[in-house]
């Protein structure tokens, strides 16, 4: 019987680390290849099929031409899964939304960069197409990927934990970093990664997005208690969730106040730009 | 010789990132031959401005899922050199182990899953799992070890957690290190089998001499820090990296190119092999001779063979470093202190799987990043890839177009281009005549 569901992987603006995590998941679960037929996975294979039912999309939408590609995938796929923080939240890509596109283009590519690079503010793919399931994280957690794929193959609707990361951290009997004076966004972040960053001694950075009842004011109070300024706190909560914080506040956080600008909003420096010929 | 040939490989597969190859022959003349980059720009350097220096390594590891440890390490070195941080020997050793984990992971992924299918006549690693299950299982075993090595030291390979400015936020136990030591020893059988497998492959014989550039260290085949050396006889401090990279926009191709003493240079495993093969472990030296690698080697396809040699070296060196750590024990050291100063600048350089990676930051007295620049290895290789293709195409023009396309794709893949590395690429629209 050839009723194996056909799945395809697509990448938009991202580091492709989530697809690599999928490849890593196969290290221990090679049997997954018996259950599905992968028809497109550019990073791992040359063959290309367009008759997929489940589309996994890694990466954010960061330019006009991404929209048509996303719509085409949506039209073909019966289920679209956002793979990782870039697709789910906008992720690190959205940090650039603090500035105008001309500002970042000029800084990185010089005065010719403006015309040569198509780009606009980064968004999660759900801002363009309907998304049926999300596998959060930067990168995704490989066990969660396997669990969600398993549920989808059984025709069930995967659900994400709706409680904070702190629950998992407590279950692991980690010492609470916030009580040790180390900033951690665990109290407002959606659980599901088994609190991997606090377990390795580093405070949560919110890559899985906020849980539904996140208390931002109380989080700010905790962080102020560590001596963080409001600017530091904004920097912390916008690393993966710039797009979300912008939606909530109605303006782009951390906008250019620290970067010297010319009158037209273009940066004074083009430190990263190439020499012009 | 055919008069008109048009090869257009849209979205080269089995490379990390998006690139197109375009070859245009008109009336027997090679009009156009280039690797175009169609990756979306991500503007990491611009995004770093205004961010606290503590975030930089976690932000920049997100430039690349494969070189995540490399980006994090180059980023930390840039910050640490700007803020005058002195690292402990233990920190250097732990970073070296994490780096080996990434080098192994990346090279194994590349040679087994991206390069080997070309020689074994299959489209990808997925049919390979059916046709050559032992090979795929071996690759996955080796990858699992590399991943577990990274996990023990930094939490995970993509994206490392426990590496921080001045040190680590988590330490492996000696028991964990002993278990890894044992597995590394067992892995040597797989390492030998890897050398056998790739030693038997018919590597294309195309050669073109170019300038080879790598980081060099005294008496060491190291990957972190060092001086920039060129096969043309130059050696520079990493602070002078801009003299080497000379990033520029070029009119004929729309990607930013680099050039040092010639119009292009090569970085990566073959460049490292050519510049410091004498410091390889004895087993890695034997592997090189089995693979037919002899310095200086001018055959770009053998970059993949040089990666196999580095797989051998990294397992050997990981065992050596694990032994040192096990013998001395692991202390839970606090990160080394930073010294903030106005407009402090620092350059971090690492030889990541695909070649030298530079990060440079300027950090203000308030700890916020003022300026940032990142130059990735694939950007440095692009000009050289173009020149290799231009030299190769006239020698294979009589072959069928699908063969030309395959050989060009294999050439591009040999460089292991990681063009998802966002920084410094132009988005290209092909406008053929």
* pLDDT confidence of residue B42: 83
Preferred mutation among B17, B41, B71, B119 to probe A, highest tally of A CBs within 10 A: B41
DSSP track, A130-151: --SEEE-BTTB-HHHHHHHHHH
* pLDDT confidence of residue A257: 62
Per-residue pLDDT band for B35 (boundaries 50, 70, 90) equals: confident
Identify the residue whose tokens are 């410094």: B424
The residue with greater pLDDT, A258 or B77, is B77
Contact A204, A190 (CB under 8 A): no
Contact A61, A67 (CB under 8 A): yes
Name which of B140, B248, B371 is nearest A269 (Cβ-Cβ). Answer: B371
Segment B200-224, tens digit of pLDDT: 999 999 999 999 999 999 999 999 9
Name which of A28, A205, A254 is nearest B50 (Cβ-Cβ). Answer: A254
Contact B416, B307 (CB under 8 A): yes
Per-residue pLDDT band for B157 (boundaries 50, 70, 90) equals: very high
Across A50-59, A151-160, B24-33, B281-290, least confident range = B24-33
Which residue numbers in chain A have pLDDT < 50? 1, 277
Per-residue pLDDT band for B10 (boundaries 50, 70, 90) equals: low
* Rounded CA separation B213/B267 (Å): 5
Other C-beta atoms lying within 10 Å of the C-beta of residue B417: 25
Any alpha helices (H) in B216-329, and if so which ranges? 241-245, 269-276, 282-290, 303-328
Segment B360-374, tens digit of pLDDT: 999 999 999 999 999
Q: How do B167-168 and B211-216 pair as beta strands?
A: unpaired
Preferred mutation among B21, B46, B378 to probe A, highest tally of A CBs within 10 A: B46
Residues of chain B with pLDDT > 90, as a percent, come to 67
Q: How far is CA B121 from CA B14, B114, B115, B124, B193, in A?
A: 14, 12, 11, 9, 20
* pLDDT confidence of residue B62: 95
ipTM for the assembly: 0.95
* Rounded CA separation A70/B235 (Å): 48
Residues 372-401, chain B, touching A (beta carbon < 8 A): 372-374
State whether residue B63 sits within 8 Å of chain A by CB: yes
Is A17–B55 a contact, with Cβ atoms under 8 angstroms apart?
A: no
Residue B428 has pLDDT above 60, yes or no: no
Q: How far is CA A257 from CA A220, A247, A253, A254, B107, in A?
A: 21, 20, 10, 7, 42
Is A271–B372 a contact, with Cβ atoms under 8 angstroms apart?
A: yes
**What's the gap between Cα A230 and its chain centre?**
23
State whether residue B112 sits within 8 Å of chain A by CB: no
* pLDDT confidence of residue A24: 85
Preferred mutation among B57, B65, B131 to probe A, highest tally of A CBs within 10 A: B65
* Rounded CA separation B78/A170 (Å): 35
Name which of A103, A110, A197 is nearest B161 (Cβ-Cβ). Answer: A197
- Rounded average pLDDT over B230-251: 86
Break chain B into its structural domains and give their ranges.
6-414
Residues 217-256, chain B, touching A (beta carbon < 8 A): 246-251, 254, 256
Identify the residue whose tokens are 């990279």: B245
* pLDDT confidence of residue A109: 81
Is A272–B147 a contact, with Cβ atoms under 8 angstroms apart?
A: no
Segment B326-345, tens digit of pLDDT: 999 999 999 999 999 999 99
* pLDDT confidence of residue B6: 66
Residue B231 has pLDDT above 80, yes or no: yes
Q: Which fold has domain B6-414?
A: Cytochrome-c3 Hydrogenase; chain B (1.10.645)
Closest CA to A20 of B196, B67, B100: B67
Is B155–A196 a contact, with Cβ atoms under 8 angstroms apart?
A: yes
- Rounded average pLDDT over B70-94: 98
* pLDDT confidence of residue B40: 66
Residue B388 has pLDDT above 70, yes or no: yes
Q: Classify burial at A187, counting beta carbons within 10 Å of its beta carbon; exposed 0-12, middle 13-18, buried 19 or more.
A: buried
Is B250–A47 a contact, with Cβ atoms under 8 angstroms apart?
A: no
Per-residue pLDDT band for B380 (boundaries 50, 70, 90) equals: confident
Question: What is the CATH superfamily name and number for domain A6-153?
Answer: NADH:ubiquinone oxidoreductase-like, 20kDa subunit (3.40.50.700)
Average pLDDT, chain B: 88
Omega cis (within 30) before A139? yes
Break chain A into its structural domains and give their ranges.
6-153, 165-249
Residues 53-72, chain A, touching B (beta carbon < 8 A): 62-63, 66
Contact B166, B197 (CB under 8 A): no
Residue B315 has pLDDT above 90, yes or no: yes
- Chain A residues within 8 A of B169 when measuring between CB atoms: 200-202
* pLDDT confidence of residue B425: 32
């Amino acid at each position: 019987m050839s009723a194996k569901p056909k799945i395809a992987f697509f990448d938009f603006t991202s580091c492709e680390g989530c697809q690599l995590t999928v490849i890593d998941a196969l290290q221990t679960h090679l049997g997954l290849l018996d259950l599905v037929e992968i028809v497109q996975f550019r990073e791992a294979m040359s063959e290309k099929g367009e008759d997929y039912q489940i589309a996994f999309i890694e990466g954010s939408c960061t330019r006009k031409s991404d929209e048509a590609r996303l719509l085409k995938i949506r039209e073909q796929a019966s289920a679209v899964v956002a793979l990782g923080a870039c697709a789910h939240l906008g992720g690190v890509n959205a940090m650039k939304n603090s500035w105008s596109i001309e500002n970042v283009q000029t800084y990185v590519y010089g005065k010719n960069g403006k015309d040569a690079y198509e780009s606009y503010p980064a968004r999660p793919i759900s801002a363009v197409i309907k998304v049926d399931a999300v596998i959060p994280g930067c990168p995704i957690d490989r066990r969660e990927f396997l669990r969600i794929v398993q549920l989808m193959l059984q025709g069930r609707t995967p659900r994400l934990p709706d409680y904070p990361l702190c629950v998992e951290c407590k279950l692991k009997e980690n010492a609470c970093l916030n009580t040790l004076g180390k900033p951690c966004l665990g109290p407002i972040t959606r659980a599901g990664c088994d609190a991997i960053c606090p377990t390795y001694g580093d405070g949560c950075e919110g890559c899985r997005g906020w849980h539904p009842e996140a208390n931002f004011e109380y989080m700010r109070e905790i962080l102020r208690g560590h001596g963080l300024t409001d600017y530091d706190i904004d920097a912390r909560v916008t690393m993966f969730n710039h797009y979300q914080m912008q939606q909530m506040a109605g303006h782009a956080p951390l906008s250019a106040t620290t970067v010297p600008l010319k009158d037209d909003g273009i940066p004074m420096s083009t430190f990263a730009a190439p020499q012009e010929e | 010789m055919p008069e008109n040939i048009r090869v257009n490989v849209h979205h080269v597969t089995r490379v990390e990132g998006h690139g197109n190859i375009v070859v245009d022959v008109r009336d027997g003349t090679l009009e156009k031959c280039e690797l175009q980059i169609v990756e979306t720009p991500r503007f990491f350097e611009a995004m770093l401005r205004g961010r606290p220096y503590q975030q930089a390594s976690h932000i920049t590891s997100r430039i690349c899922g494969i070189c995540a440890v490399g980006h994090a390490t180059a980023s930390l070195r840039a910050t640490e050199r700007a803020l005058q941080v002195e690292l402990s020997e233990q920190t250097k050793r732990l970073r070296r182990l994490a780096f080996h984990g990434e080098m192994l992971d990346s090279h194994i992924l590349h040679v087994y899953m991206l390069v080997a299918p070309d020689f074994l006549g299959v489209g990808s690693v997925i049919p390979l799992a059916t046709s050559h299950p032992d090979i795929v299982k071996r690759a996955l075993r080796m990858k699992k070890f590399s991943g577990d090595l990274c996990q023990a030291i930094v939490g995970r390979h993509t994206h490392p957690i426990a590496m921080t400015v001045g040190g680590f936020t988590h330490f492996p136990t000696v028991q964990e290190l002993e278990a890894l030591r044992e597995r590394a020893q067992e892995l040597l059988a797989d390492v030998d089998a890897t050398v056998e497998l790739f030693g038997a492959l018919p590597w294309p014989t195309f050669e073109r001499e170019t300038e080879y550039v790598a980081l060099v260290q005294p008496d060491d085949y190291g990957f972190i820090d060092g001086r920039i050396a060129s096969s043309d006889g130059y050696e520079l401090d990493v602070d002078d990296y801009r003299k080497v990279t000379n990033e520029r926009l070029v009119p004929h191709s729309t990607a930013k190119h680099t050039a040092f003493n010639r119009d292009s240079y090569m970085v990566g495993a073959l460049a490292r092999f050519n510049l410091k093969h004498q410091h390889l472990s004895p087993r890695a030296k034997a592997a090189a001779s089995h693979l037919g690698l002899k310095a200086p080697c001018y055959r770009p396809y053998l970059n993949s063979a040089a990666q196999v040699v580095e797989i051998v070296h990294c397992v050997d060196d990981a065992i050596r470093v694990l032994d040192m750590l096990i013998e001395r024990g692991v202390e839970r050291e606090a990160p080394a202190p930073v010294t903030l100063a106005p407009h402090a600048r620092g350059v971090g350089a690492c030889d990541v799987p695909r070649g030298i990676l530079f990060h440079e930051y300027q950090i203000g007295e308030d700890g916020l990043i003022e300026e940032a620049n990142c130059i990735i290895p694939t950007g440095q290789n692009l000009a050289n890839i173009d020149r290799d293709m231009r030299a190769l195409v006239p020698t294979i023009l009589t072959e069928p177009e699908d063969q030309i396309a395959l050989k060009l794709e294999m050439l591009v893949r040999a460089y292991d281009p990681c063009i998802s590395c966002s920084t410094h690429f132009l988005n290209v629209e092909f406008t053929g005549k």
